[in-house]
Amino acid sequence: MTSPSDWIEHRRGDGELLGWMRPHGDGFVVIDLLGRECSGALDWFEAETLLDDLGIGYLADAYELRLENGAWLRVRITEVSTVRVRVKRDDWGDITVPNVEFTLSFPPNDVLRPVRATLDQRGHPT
């Protein structure tokens, strides 16, 4: 899938795409670069402001990919377009680990989610 023709691109000052605004009634729904709806209907200015505030930093966060067997694998995003999203197994920067990549259709929907922090018995992130 590519982005629907009624999605309106929003770019920051240097031309970098931040996401889209989809017309909805008298307002606009904000859609991020992963194709996720990030708001209800907002006016034009509020939608642009939300996209500016979201930025693109969330693309550098860790995510989890649901594998065919139902297990979740920690991954990092390497490429995002309206055609595909590419991710790789999170290797924590270890160059000796084999690179394992996955290509997902856009939007990736329920197969890709932000990492859900879990805590050990002492309350520390695992």
- For residue 94, give its domain range: 61-114
> Do both 43 and 74 map to the same domain?
no
Q: In this predicted model, what pLDDT tens digit does every residue of 24-65 receive, in sequence order?
A: 999 999 999 999 999 999 999 999 999 999 999 999 999 999
- Does residue 3 sit within a domain? no
**Beta-ladder partners of 51:** none
Q: What's residue 3's pLDDT? A: 72
C-alpha R_g of the chain: 17
> Do both 51 and 66 map to the same domain?
no
Is residue 4 predicted with pLDDT exceeding 70? yes
- Does residue 126 sit within a domain? no
- Does residue 121 sit within a domain? no
**Number of structural domains found in the chain:** 2
- Does residue 120 sit within a domain? no
Q: What's residue 121's pLDDT? A: 62
> Do both 98 and 65 map to the same domain?
yes
- Does residue 122 sit within a domain? no
Q: How far apart are CA 82 and CA 85, in angstroms?
A: 8
